[in-house]
Structure 1
Amino acid sequence: MSVRRAAGIVAGLGAAALTLGACSGGSSSAEEEGGAAAFDPGDRLTMIVPMGPGGGSDLSGRSIAAGLEEVTEKTISVENQEGGGGAVGYANFLGLEGDPSYLLATETALVNLALTEDVPFSWESFTPIMKVGQDSTIMVVPQDAAYGTCTDVVDAARAGDVKVSVSGGVTGNDAIQFGLIEKDQDVTFQRVPYESGGEAIAAVLGGHVDVALTNPGEVVGQLESGDLKALCVIAEERYEYEELADIPTTVEQGIDVTFSQYRGIIAPGGISDEAKAYWVDASKKYVETESFKEYMATNYMQADPLFGDDFTSYLEQYEADLAAGLE
């Protein structure tokens, strides 16, 4: 079985999620539909971002918070709680059990950490509210680097050390993706850890590492300015966005590895049905706004909103597929 198939975190996963959404018709359980109008989460609302400033998680959390402010007419402050590749923020979020005035900008690290580290939480510890979509990672290097493709990087790793930035900790998305490439191509990279995507980009720009993996929204400016160049997308199919459409995929280059990560929001565990309904209803209104469309386009995301119980079903499948890919 190929690494791409085993990982199960490929475009097919996104397709499965789309099917889920289509089957549900955007509907939700009765508990999510009732009680939202009468519920009030209070006036001191906070969006936790469990990663450092400047990366994709930070961009996601701040964009979603701004969009929810628009539809709820409430102020939502954003608080970065970085550390441990997201573990610090998620662990702190456990202590907010039952408090509907807090949300957290979540992504794949929530599932990664529970599968690979001894942490006191899993996605089941919290209340899934909304998945906004997913994106695929781009491998980038400085513009003057000798590498022209991801295959060149793999060949260089066979011949000697290639320093790669790994944001989000030793078990984060970058580490998993480089690990899958190592497994598929029988090579080893020299990993240099960073807390956020912003730090990883700064490291490759500063020549501290040779290669970085990054989300398109984090790096498109440097690609357009010519400071960085893209070698490949860790995906089976190319991006359709005009700015990214010319970047080949790993599969095109003979590397049988793909990966996509979701982004969304969760609430603390143990909140009331009315509180869950309030945030699910607000999220559904958010995805109908121009703010949502702008966030998707600006960050080159693949829109695929899922809410409440449908998001829960997605996470169940995502965890199973990710676990299979890590075996």
Structure 2
Amino acid sequence: MRDRARTRIPLAIAVAGALALAGCSGGDGGGDVPAGGWQPDGDVTMIVPFAAGGGSDRAGRALAAAIEAAAPDVGVSVENREGGSGAVGYSHFLGRNGDAETLLATETALLALPASGDVEFTYEDFTPIMKIAEDFTLLVVPVDAPYQTCPDVVEAARGQRVVAGISGTTGLDNIVLSLTENETGVQFDRVAFESGGELIAALLGEQIDIASLNPGEVIGQLESGDLRAVCAFAEQRYDYGELQGIPTATEQGIPVSFAQFRGVLAPGGITEEQRTYWVETLRRALETEEYRSYVEESYLQPITAPADEFVAYLNENRALLEEALKS
């Protein structure tokens, strides 16, 4: 089972890239919104299903700014509804069925929460609008920790308790730790937090030994020297200057990589006209300086997929996540 998971996850990322290229060439939802078509009547709410300060919060705020730049007549307010590793926010959003003036900044929890069996919704209960980027993660330790590499962390976990902080029980960090456990046979002692900001505080306060964090969440602490990255759970090293020296886990003999997607959902039950409006608005948002700055400052891969292509990506990765989260 471990061999299958290791070989299929890179394939999923490759498939996602191919879908993104197809989306950039035209894809689904084409054309401009017809004159007199549906438009929001008043402000739009962007729900973030995690606490302020983490990667999902930054994504939601960046998306709100990009939408406002792409559609100047639309104001977007961000509303954090954290709790239950994202379940609280997604469940609230489920109750907004038919409300096309509410959006949600989505990520891997959209698939991982249903895979955990703890919620009654799936992505099919919502309206996927656009995948806007992919985000990998780093294994981070305090600067004075004894670990210099990912294998050092694994070896420590063979003989002692290594406390790993995770942002929610179904997020990207829990997935890469689970895959690492599958590959190496060790077990980490997990402590769940609600955001990347809380994870960083716990690392700095020595409440936990290691944490998996997105580069955009932790770049400040890496640059200041307060924290240190021992590896990247990515297909290849980052091109970004500050991160080029961080080896991948695969380079160090632990073949684990997995991308968290970032995207936008509308509620279920909206009309085709409303869906088309949001697909076209997000297409324009991806061309704004706000979006480009967000991708660069958050160290993301700008691999996008609109509407039906986003649905295909979600369908492919649902099976992969279900396998990765098996224990």
| TM-score, normalising length: structure 2 | 0.94
In the alignment, which residue of structure 1 is the partner of 2:128?
Answer: 128
Matches of 2:35 and 2:273, distance apart in 1 = 6
Deviation (angstroms), 1:46 = 0.4
Supply the RMSD in Å over aligned alpha carbons.
1.8
Q: Partner letter of residue 166 of structure 2?
A: V
Distance in 2, matches of 1:36 and 1:207, equals 57
Q: Is 1:255 equivalent to 2:244 in the alignment?
A: no
2:117 match: 117
* 1:263-302 paired onto structure 2 within 5 Å: 263-302=262-301
**Alignment correspondent of 2:56:** 57
In 1, Cα distance between the equivalents of 2:36 and 2:104?
Answer: 22
2:65 is matched with 66
User: How much does 1:16 deviate?
Assistant: 1.1
Cα distance in 2 between the residues matched to 1:184 and 1:222: 29
TM-fit CA distance, 1:83: 0.5
**Any idea what SS the aligned residue of 2:260 has?**
strand
**CA separation of 1:162 and 1:59: change in aligned 2, threshold 3 A:** same
Compared CA separation, residues 120 and 37, structure 1 to 2 (3 A):
farther
Quick one: distance in 2 between partners of 1:196 and 1:37? 41
CA shift for structure 1 position 30:
5.4
Larger deviation, residues 250-259 vs 36-45: 36-45
- Equivalent residue letter for 1:222: Q
1:90 to 2:90 alignment? yes
The residue that corresponds to 1:326 in the other structure is: 325
Q: Deviations over 1:29-88 (max 9, x none)?
A: 458765486211111210000001100000000001111011111210000000010000
The aligned counterpart of 1:161 is 161
Kindly provide the CA deviation profile for residues 159-193 of structure 1, in whole angstroms up to 9, marking residues without a partner as x.
1001110111x233222221211121111111111
Cα 1:243/1:293, change in 2 over 3 Å: same
Q: Classify the secondary structure of the residue corresponding to 2:106.
A: strand
Identity of aligned residues (%): 48
Offset of residue 225 of structure 1: 0.5
Secondary structure of residue in 2 paired with 1:258: coil
Structure 1 4/220 Cα, relative in aligned 2: closer, same or farther at 3 Å? Answer: farther
Unaligned runs of 5+ in 1: none
**Deviation at residue 3 of structure 1 after TM alignment:** 4.8
Q: Is the 8 A contact 1:7 1:324 kept in 2?
A: no
SS of aligned partner of 1:53: coil
**2:90 & 2:58 partners in 1: Cα distance?**
18
1:54–1:68 CA distance, 2 compared to 1 (3 A) = same
